[in-house]
Structure 1
Amino acid sequence: MINALNPLYKPPTRHMLSNHFVPAWYNVEKQNVKSALEKASKVAITSDGWTSICQDHYLTVTAHYITEGRMQQNVLVTKAVYRAQTGDVVAEEIGDVLDEYGIREKVSAITVDNAANMDVAVKKLHIIKIGCFAHTLNLAAQTIYTLNSVAKWAAKIREVVVWMKRSSMAKVVLREKQDLLKIDKNSLLLDVKTRWNSLFLMIERFLQQHSALQAASLDPRLRKPMERDRLSKLTNEDYRKAEEFIELMEILYTSTLCASNEKSSTCGQVLPILQKLKNHFTVRDGDSLFVSCLKKTIWTDLSKRYQTDQVRNFLGEATAMDPRFKHTLEEEDAEEDKTVWSRIKEKILAAHDPAETEQLTEPGVFGKEGRKQTDEPRGEESEESEDETVSLQTRKKMKLTPLEKLFAEDDILKLNTIKRVAAAAPAIKIRAEKELEMYKALPPALTSEDPSAWWWRKRDVYPLLSDLALSYLCVQASSTPSERVFSTAGDTISTERSRILPEKADMLIFLFKNC
């Protein structure tokens, strides 16, 4: 075909693609990522580890930042590491990545799983650590496996699911019964302890297909009647527990989906979701023994999370800066709400006071070069006239263009006008207080609202708050961005491509995720 279209064209060889084109493309895109991160005022990162089919251990780092009201994310690296992944080693490896991209001083926080080596690494890096919220919810859900009542009850349902999944004829019969009963043609699911919410999904699918399962178990084409009798051994009490389990655990499943969302999973959601979970898992009168036992077990584990002052304060401020949830702190604890707003005000003053001072001091005009230093008190008029005279003399000594020489006196008047306007402008403290009062008085935004886009639209009304909001909105609630990178890595380093070099794999993953 190629010869017929153009006999002179020679397609690139595998060697040319692998050793020249891909690296050249990678270098260009990497420079583009560096340029984008250089423009970002604040950056949040996630990190995680993964072992490939070749038993090579990989560390990935992703960066998240906001540009013009849009959340941006880039995969910085997915590199093979060959040292024991202790906390010190992981800290060094992540630090090297941050230095390579020049964002070490811009990092607001890092979101990682709850592994001990990550705790040590983050402390070494002196970065605020946000534990992966999705992983935290899964750990809480896994605690119910330790309950004997749940383990025995779930085992009965699991046996039925395993029996149906092992038989090819059972699948055919089940599909026929689904058609007959007009039930969704879904396969049964088997739970895996390490897979998020798998027990909930197994029980939910079992209840959904229960009528089809009963009809299938009576079909004469299915053998092993002793095995299928297990379905009849499930009592009404077991079915009641299944219904109660689904009703109770659905909120935990939904919360995991919220924390794992690819587009809007910011850390400002963590405390509001925890507040909802606390209300849901509070034991109430009328709860059965089964339900109350589940509630106590799950909330006992969740209540231990995010309790350090540094993390709690950061999440409180992130919640306040999220226009969808800013009211939830006041509803939960009025005193904590006041403390959060006070810290936000202090951060605004710390961030803008030095900048404003430098802005109002014109180098060579209103600074040391443009004003004589004297200990004698001076009036406003003499001070202004001296500023003008000295500034004019200073400008005359400077090398000016002909146009600047012609309008030198006019420029001095303009500079003095700028100074008077700046002096008359409200102090940064007053502006911060006014913005905070206006923002707190606004009704909360709908949960469908994108908080980054909301602040971008309001940047002229709340210039101080909108700048500060970037420090929180870019921080991820979970480390699922890194998990998604490893899904891509699994496709890249597959059984058929198991001999691919780790350096080439890093380039391919980088290009796939960033282009």
Structure 2
Amino acid sequence: MTRERKEECHRKVTEFIVKGLQPFSTVESPWFREMVAALNPRYQPPSRDMLSTTLIPAWYAVERERVQAELEETEHVALTCDGWTSVAQDHYITVTVHFAKGGQLQERVLHTKAVYEAQTGEFLAEEIRHIMAEFNIQGKVVALTVDNAANMRVAARMLKVVKIGCFAHSLNLAAQKVYTEPTVSNWAARIRAVVVWLRKASLAKPVMKEKQRLLDLPQHAMVLDVRTRWNTLYLIIERFVEQYSVIQAASLDPRLRRSMERDRLQRISDQDFRHAEEFVRVMRILYTSTLCVSSERTPACGQILPILQKLEGHFKVQDADSTFTAAIKKRVWDDLSKRYTDENIRMFLEEATSLDPRFKTKIMDAAVWSRLEEKACGENSGQHALEIGVDKEDQLDEGMEEEEEDEEAASMENTTYTAVTTSHSASDSALGELFAKEDLALKTIQAVPLLDRSEKARKELKLYRALPAELTSTHPAEWWWERRGTFPILFDLASNYTCVQASSTPAEWIFSTAGDTLSQEKACLAPEKADMIIFLKKNC
């Protein structure tokens, strides 16, 4: 077997272990080696030690350089960060980076680091700062999306970046407020008790399947709510409403009735069912909103305020609402109304929404558009003023040098255009000297757009606002990339917002991979090896 062929086989074995999250010991198991020998008797698979100390680190080094090169070409990035605990009770933080490349939002896992100290804001800020320095993105981070913990707020403040609270987490916190309403909690407890009993009773499952077939209903199992999991109260009530007739029929079945009476299980009343219907009707929009910002791989922050506006209208208490519905609405909106009230965060989200072609019509405040105009004009006018200033200094030097040599150059310097004077040094071509006046006129014409960049920015903003809003299926980063020729200034400005995430779920998506990486069988895996495997699994 040639060396190249052997290295290729090693790479494939390494990919199999990393991508499949297999234990390193797999390569030394007799069944694996028998399989490899049957496929290619001349190939000798790597040992567990070689895999751990040579092959995986070498692959990681190559891919890390590739990610560093990607980020080197990017001007604006956003981060998400979250913490989690392994089965061995080791604490980790995961940092992901998000950026636009060719109109497509890209996501990369930067690090999954073990934490052995108290996770204070100062400590987290230092850890994130080290990660930013390693990938050379210190001056490129525009925002950090994290959960609503106090230490994350402190970390963002110390890093001097905009902190966006995870919108999905905020929605879940608001949904959990219904547990604090006595009427709702007592009602939910009765339904939960019935669901728990049906899940535990040995005969409940076959009886319910029989009733589901007779009533032609979906053969779904009952679900339980877990307060730490998002939307589980809504899901248990939604399933209860769907299977209510099955539950009623099963509770009257002689095979279950006696057991229910013996266990003194409180029966569900029609009033409980009506409350369940109201609950589903009221809370469905919160569940859908959570899906909007947690199911997508790259939920843009420009959709936070439009969703909040819709939720505000939905959770406003109406005169026709029942006491039960009004109590739910009040609890939820009292919590949501306190979110994103910080002035700087609010301004950032308003600007992000304005530059999101799907929701720009939601921003009616003229002050927001004025801020965008100032930023569009300011970023460019400052730059071009600098360019023009340099040109004037160069022109002054050239004029002083040639004042004694060429009277024509001095007369040109006194024109109203203050253009670059024509040089008559020996290095200039004869053709250039012959057509000096024509070249000067062209340079003057080409200089005019530089002087009017602020006006161009205003025209771009006016044209952008005149365009109709896009469908919600449109992704803002792709939309701006396709129109970067029409809106060059606004495209640069929008790049500061389109990469910012609405929720920290991209970091939380890593938890499932991390959980499989550090499962019971691999709980002793060294943290640095776990970091490499997660990096390679998610980025390659």
The TM-score with structure 1 as length reference comes to 0.91
Tell me which residue corresponds to 1:432.
Answer: 457
Tell me which residue corresponds to 1:67.
Answer: 101
Residues 1:494 and 2:519 aligned together: yes
Is the partner of 2:203 in helix, strand or coil? helix
Verify the 8 A CA contact 1:188 1:205 in the aligned structure 2: yes
Q: 495, 501, 504: which one pairs with 1:479?
A: 504
Offset from partner CA, 1:68-108 (integer Å, 9 cap, x none): 11111100000112111111111000011111111111111
Letter in structure 2 aligned against 1:472:
Y
Deviation at 1:33, TM superposition (A): 0.7
Q: 108, 132, 137: which one pairs with 1:103?
A: 137
**Cα distance in structure 2, aligned partners of 1:295 and 1:144:** 9
Q: Please, which moves more after superposition, 362-371 or 423-432?
A: 362-371
Tell me which residue corresponds to 1:43.
Answer: 77
Q: Please, which moves more after superposition, 363-372 or 466-475?
A: 363-372
Alignment root-mean-square deviation, CA: 2.6
Letter in structure 1 aligned against 2:159:
L
Verify the 8 A CA contact 2:424 2:433 in the aligned structure 1: yes
Q: Unaligned regions of 5+ residues in structure 1, if any?
A: 331-336, 397-403
Is the partner of 2:299 in helix, strand or coil? coil
**Cα distance in structure 1, aligned partners of 2:61 and 2:78:** 23
Residues 1:118 and 2:152 aligned together: yes
Q: 229, 238, 249: which one pairs with 1:215?
A: 249
Verify the 8 A CA contact 1:47 1:112 in the aligned structure 2: yes
Deviation at 1:360, TM superposition (A): 5.0
Letter in structure 1 aligned against 2:359:
F
**Aligned in 2, Cα 1:369/1:74: closer, same or farther, shift over 3 Å?**
farther
Matches of residues 237-248 of structure 1 in structure 2 within 5 Å? 237-248=271-282
Tell me which residue corresponds to 1:12.
Answer: 46
Offset from partner CA, 1:159-185 (integer Å, 9 cap, x none): 110001112321122122212222111
Q: Unaligned regions of 5+ residues in structure 2, if any?
A: 1-34, 404-409
Verify the 8 A CA contact 2:93 2:115 in the aligned structure 1: yes
**Aligned in 2, Cα 1:225/1:262: closer, same or farther, shift over 3 Å?**
closer
Residues 1:226 and 2:261 aligned together: yes
**Cα distance in structure 2, aligned partners of 1:505 and 1:413:** 68
Letter in structure 2 aligned against 1:343:
R
**Cα distance in structure 2, aligned partners of 1:410 and 1:151:** 90
**Cα distance in structure 2, aligned partners of 1:365 and 1:278:** 57
Deviation at 1:363, TM superposition (A): 7.3
Deviation at 1:230, TM superposition (A): 3.6
**Aligned in 2, Cα 1:42/1:373: closer, same or farther, shift over 3 Å?**
farther
Verify the 8 A CA contact 1:360 1:419 in the aligned structure 2: no
Offset from partner CA, 1:436-460 (integer Å, 9 cap, x none): 1111111111111111111111111
**Aligned in 2, Cα 1:379/1:505: closer, same or farther, shift over 3 Å?**
same
**Aligned in 2, Cα 1:385/1:184: closer, same or farther, shift over 3 Å?**
closer
**Aligned in 2, Cα 1:252/1:227: closer, same or farther, shift over 3 Å?**
farther
**Cα distance in structure 1, aligned partners of 2:454 and 2:207:** 73
Is the partner of 1:78 in helix, strand or coil? strand
Tell me which residue corresponds to 2:348.
Answer: 314
**Aligned in 2, Cα 1:110/1:4: closer, same or farther, shift over 3 Å?**
closer
**Aligned in 2, Cα 1:386/1:361: closer, same or farther, shift over 3 Å?**
closer
Offset from partner CA, 1:240-299 (integer Å, 9 cap, x none): 111111000000000111111333411100110000010001111111111111111111
Offset from partner CA, 1:6-30 (integer Å, 9 cap, x none): 5432221111111111111111111
**Aligned in 2, Cα 1:2/1:495: closer, same or farther, shift over 3 Å?**
closer
Matches of residues 133-282 of structure 1 in structure 2 within 5 Å? 133-222=167-256, 224-226=259-261, 230=265, 233-282=267-316
**Cα distance in structure 2, aligned partners of 1:386 and 1:58:** 60
Letter in structure 1 aligned against 2:48:
R
Tell me which residue corresponds to 1:401.
Answer: none
The TM-score with structure 2 as length reference comes to 0.87
Matches of residues 334-345 of structure 1 in structure 2 within 5 Å? 337-345=365-373
Tell me which residue corresponds to 1:333.
Answer: none
Offset from partner CA, 1:33-75 (integer Å, 9 cap, x none): 1111111111010001111111111111100011111111100
Deviation at 1:349, TM superposition (A): 2.1
% identity of equivalent residues: 50
**Cα distance in structure 1, aligned partners of 2:294 and 2:36:** 46
Verify the 8 A CA contact 1:49 1:58 in the aligned structure 2: yes
Offset from partner CA, 1:141-174 (integer Å, 9 cap, x none): 1111111101110011001100011123211221
Offset from partner CA, 1:351-382 (integer Å, 9 cap, x none): 2123334555777994565443899xx76565
Matches of residues 403-442 of structure 1 in structure 2 within 5 Å? 409=433, 416=440, 419-425=443-449, 427-442=452-467
Tell me which residue corresponds to 2:9.
Answer: none
**Cα distance in structure 2, aligned partners of 1:385 and 1:452:** 40
**Aligned in 2, Cα 1:385/1:428: closer, same or farther, shift over 3 Å?**
closer
Aligned length: 498
Q: 455, 477, 485: which one pairs with 1:460?
A: 485
Tell me which residue corresponds to 2:474.
Answer: 449
Tell me which residue corresponds to 1:400.
Answer: none
Q: 84, 93, 110: which one pairs with 2:127?
A: 93
**Aligned in 2, Cα 1:345/1:47: closer, same or farther, shift over 3 Å?**
same
Deviation at 1:215, TM superposition (A): 2.0
Verify the 8 A CA contact 2:85 2:91 in the aligned structure 1: yes
